[in-house]
Structure 1
Amino acid sequence: MEMTQNAALIVVDVQEGFEEQEYWGPRNNTGADRNIADLIDAWQESGRPVVFVRHDSPKPDSPLRPGYPGNAFKGYVEERRGKGGGPELLLTKTVNSAFYGTPDLGAWLDEAGIRQIVVAGIQTNMCVETTARMGGNLGYEVFLALDATYTFDAVGPWGWELGADELARATAVTLHSGGFAKVVASADLVAAAGK
């Protein structure tokens, strides 16, 4: 796997509010936070750009709403912000895709000549998947670090239920088979960043 020197890591919604299990329900991939931290470290050590995305939910009961403690980045993310040798962007959004945030992610990437992005964070099948899909549609080479994401069990129409692992697999299959992104392991990205 080849990573360009300006490949951007997009860290999506790694916020304290996702720790509120009574709101979200059961999650998968308990190792995701360690893998996200490893990716941030590798990107910062190599001087590559990192984008920190925060979801400012407009829903009054959301653990991610502005002014509520859950809106803050998780501690391990907050302590890494501003520590890298490369460019860094703080982006806020109120919808699923980081490409519809403030400031404009696409404009920031394009201005820097960035054509390769790595997406990690929370939730696998929601904001992470939507950001990766849009990135692919916009012509970026997208890598999804699947083991650096997690999600929660969900209920859909007609009472259909899917577990978090099933949802994560569905995201991986959809992004891969649809050509939106290359679904990879975080360790491979960390190794590629160190080359």
Structure 2
Amino acid sequence: MIAIIDYDTGNTRSIQKALAYIGLSSQITADPVEIEAADGLILPGVGAFKQAMEELKKRALVDPLKQVADSGKPILGVCLGMQLLLDQSEEHGLTSGLGLIPGNVKKIPPFNNQKIPHMGWNQLHIHQETPLTSGLEGKDVYFVHSYFTDTEAEFIAASTTYGIQVPAIIHRDNVYGAQFHPEKSGTIGLQILAGFKEVITCKSTQQSI
């Protein structure tokens, strides 16, 4: 069972439908007991970093999320949920994140009058081969965001270009993040979620990835 974290800032129903399509059962929950018992977690997110962290704290979900990460169970952050995995964000003043992947969240800088937020389909460039990035070189996924994750190259599994290099998939051990929306990215998005399913399956059976 996959726990989709419910904190009123995520596209939870669409993610649940996408998981069901690839054969992953899930529940939308804010219950720490259910979260810690799950085989893996998805942390969705739409909106502002500061508000999201305040809501996670209000629901006493920060420690359970960190405990699951420490246990080695797979976690996938989506869009804002990916940004929350980092140390801090500059959005609306400095706000501490979950600290599961080193780095900071910064506003996308202006470049040649490009529009902010970055919205639409953009091509992936693969930096590291993982179950989530296999076969994705040159494929398009759907982005909606104004901020990006500034992290070291060792944690960047895939990127896209929007004036600057924007990390699209980040990865540290059992923790993954997708800046785009897999649930809105058609067959490619489903392929990425299927890769996360593979990570969960390998972890639950103690196989190497």
TM over 0.5: no
Structure 1 length normalisation: TM-score?
Answer: 0.39
Larger relative CO (CA 8 A, sep 6+): 1 or 2?
Answer: 1
Structure 2 length normalisation: TM-score?
Answer: 0.37
Structure having the larger proportion of residues in strand = 2
